[in-house]
Amino acid sequence: MNYHHNDELIEGLAQRYVTGLMRGQARARFRSLVSEYPRIAQQVTLWEQHLNGLADQLKPMQPQPKVWQNIQQRLFTTTRTSNPFWRIFGGLAAVTAAVLLIVVIQLQTQIPEVPVVDRIALIKDEQQLTLWVLNVKPDSIKVTPQPNVEARNDKDYELWMLPKDGSAPVSLGLLPESSTAKALDPPAEFQLAQVGALAVSLEPTGGSTTGAPTGPVLYTTDIITL
Amino acid sequence: MTEYQLSKDLHRIALGDNSAFERFYQATSPRLMSVSYAILRERTLAEEALQDTYLKIWHAASDYRSDAGSVMCWITSMVRYRAIDMLRHARRQPLTSQDIEQLLDQQGGDALPVTAADTDKLEHCMSDLDGTQRQSIHLAFLYGLSHREVSDYLGEALGSIKSWIRRGLESLKRCLQS
């Protein structure tokens, strides 16, 4: 459909978007049109200007103090500030307003004589829904996608390692979107001790062809060792 | 805080000034919280949406352009859209008239004069709409109700609600632009 040529259609969609009556997939699709077509963005802005004043009728409500504390914590107590790559990815990630939390849990196995350490990373979205479970070994990563992953026909999710020394991100492979687990075969540069953090970007089908992330970085990470 | 001060602080935030950010948060969060809460009607979720919104404000402060409306308009959209996206995961109780009374400011907003003239005009134009149109737009815009929920709440057919809202918005636009 030629959205950008039909004024009446654009206006109707902008109205529904701004009033909140457009939901789900349609809303997500329309949002991408807003960033693509200035005329659509203009209509959205116009309706925001018309209607946002309605919110003046609501009684102001004080949020709890912990909200501000959490904001400060999420902004300033991550590895992001110390690594130049975080600044780049942080900005990109803000655009999508998504946050990834990777929790590295060290699990001791039950054989006391030969302690084998497994690392598990949980990739969660901002609503704390787990998207992928990563079982990380020194030379391999097993990924199990969860039902919350939004499957994309036209794109792939690519996993990147951000080295501790601030050198360029290294691709660790494409993340599966369906329910079957997949073993990634990371390149030789992948060494657990060198992983500063992980990031997930949205790439054309088949992954980035440039060796660096090209699409939006959807999730960036804090690593917490328990 | 005036629009001028808000936009000055926003510029400082874009440069990484955390004390400007705190001032901005103190001045704007009670309003954004009320917007978020009216849509989500659950405190924890509303605060989660608020948190995400301020993180976005911190990162996107340099993207603000005054031709996209006032600062207040810009951040109101941010929190509304975040809250609407979160509705998918929220299990809300149906809206009651009591909810509406609780959420509405009886004394008139004291926190943030957006631009009084615009607000007056909006109020005037809203009062020109017929009752059902006005109510449908309020229910959708302020309380995040879907077409279906508005239709259930008002006990009117879904099709009528859709055209009421559409026609109401058209009249509102004509009045605001006159």
Residues of B in contact with A50 (CB under 8 A): 122, 172-173, 176
- Label residues A26-64 b or e (16+ Cβ within 10 Å = b): ebeebeebbeeeeebeebbbbbbbbbbbbbbbbbbbebe
CB contact burial A82-94 (16+ within 10 A = b; e otherwise): ebebbebbbebbb
Residue A18 phi, psi dihedral angles, 5° rounding: -70, -40
If asked whether residues B7 and B39 sit together in one domain, one would say: yes
| A43 Cβ neighbours under 8 A, 6+ residues apart | A10, A11, A14
What integer pLDDT is reported at residue B158 of this predicted model? 95
B15, two tokens: 């440069």
Question: To the nearest whole percent, how much of chain A has pLDDT over 70?
Answer: 74
- Which of B33, B75, B79 is best to mutate for the A interface (most A CBs within 10 A)? B33
Q: How far is CA B83 from CA A49, A98, A169, B133, in A?
A: 19, 14, 33, 23
Of all residues in chain B, the one with the smallest CA distance to A16 is: B166
Residues B59 and B146 in one domain: no
Domain limits at B173? 94-105+113-178
Which pLDDT score, from 0 to 100, does residue A126 have?
A: 73
**Residue A103: is its pLDDT beyond 60?**
no
* Same domain membership, residue B1 and residue B86: yes
How high is the pLDDT of residue B119?
73
| CB spacing of B51 vs A67 below 8 angstroms | yes
Chain A CB contacts of B82 below 8 Å: 97
Q: Does A79 have pLDDT greater than 70?
A: no
How far apart, in whole angstroms, are the C-alpha atoms of residue B172 and residue B156?
21
| Contact call for A75 and B169, based on CB within 8 A | no
Query: Hey, is the C-beta of A97 within 8 angstroms of any chain B C-beta?
Result: yes
Q: Token pair for residue B154? A: 């008002």
Q: Looking at the structure, tell me whether residues B64 and B99 fall in a common domain.
A: no
Q: Judge: B114–A45 Cβ closer than 8 Å, yes or no.
A: no
Q: By CB neighbour count within 10 A (0-12 exposed, 13-18 middle, 19+ buried), where does A127 fall?
A: middle
| pLDDT, position B129 | 94
Task: Tell me what pLDDT residue B72 has.
Answer: 94
- A74/B51 touch (CB, cutoff 8 Å), yes or no: yes
- State yes or no: pLDDT of A94 exceeds 60: no
Task: Write out the two tokens for B95.
Answer: 């809206």
* pLDDT for the residue numbered A27: 92
Q: Domain check: are B43 and B100 in the same one?
A: no
SS3 state at A158: strand
Closest CA–CA distance from residue B123 to any residue of chain A (Å): 8
Using one digit for the tens of pLDDT, what is the confidence trace for A104-114? 333 333 344 44
Nearest Cα residue to A123 out of A101, A149, A140: A101
Q: Which run of H or of E encompasses A198? A: strand A195-204
Q: Rounded to an integer, what is the distance from CA A28 to the centroid of its chain?
A: 15
pTM (two decimals): 0.62
Q: Which residue of A has its CA nearest to B167?
A: A12
Do both B74 and B118 map to the same domain? Answer: no
Chain A partners of B74 at a C-beta cutoff of 8 Å? 48
pLDDT band for position A184 (cuts 50, 70, 90): confident
What type of residue sits at position B37? Y
In single-letter form, the type of residue at position A183 comes to: A
Q: Please determine, for residue A98, whether its predicted confidence score (pLDDT) is greater than 60.
A: no
Tell me the pLDDT of chain B averaged across its residues.
89
Q: Give the residue from B92, B122, B145 where a domain finishes.
A: B92
Are residues B43 and B120 both part of a single domain? no
Q: How many domains does chain B have?
A: 2
Question: Chain A partners of B111 at a C-beta cutoff of 8 Å?
Answer: 60
Answer whether A225 touches B (CB < 8 Å).
no
Of B29, B89, B140, the CB nearest to A19: B140
Please, where are the H alpha helices in chain A?
Answer: 7-19, 24-36, 38-51, 65-76, 84-96
Query: Are residues B37 and B50 both part of a single domain?
Result: yes
Contact check, Cβ <8 Å, A60/B38: no
Nearest to A21 among B37, B147, B172 (CB): B147
Q: Among the three residues B92, B124, B158, which one is the final residue of a domain in this structure?
A: B92
Q: Tell me what the mean pLDDT of segment A91-118 comes to.
A: 44
Q: Which of A91-95, A129-133, B60-64 has the lowest mean pLDDT?
A: A91-95
Percent share of chain B, pLDDT over 70: 93
Q: Are residues B98 and B79 in the same domain?
A: no
- Give the CATH number, domain containing residue B143: 1.10.10.10
* Residues B55 and A94 sit within 8 Å (Cβ to Cβ): yes
Q: What is the predicted pLDDT for the residue at B1?
A: 75
- B85 in the same domain as B38: yes
**Interchain CB distance below 8 Å, B30 and A61:** yes
Lowest mean pLDDT among A41-50, B24-33, B37-46, B89-98: B89-98
pLDDT of residue B140: 95
Within 10 A of B129 (CB to CB), how many other CB atoms are there? Answer: 19
Q: With contacts defined as CB-CB under 8 Å, which chain A residues touch B18?
A: 72, 76
> Are B84 and A61 an interchain contact pair (Cβ–Cβ within 8 Å)?
no
Residues B38 and B99 in one domain: no
Average pLDDT over residues B110-131: 75
Answer yes or no: is pLDDT of A82 > 80. no
End-of-domain residue from the set B46, B62, B92:
B92
If you count them, how many residues does chain B have? Answer: 178
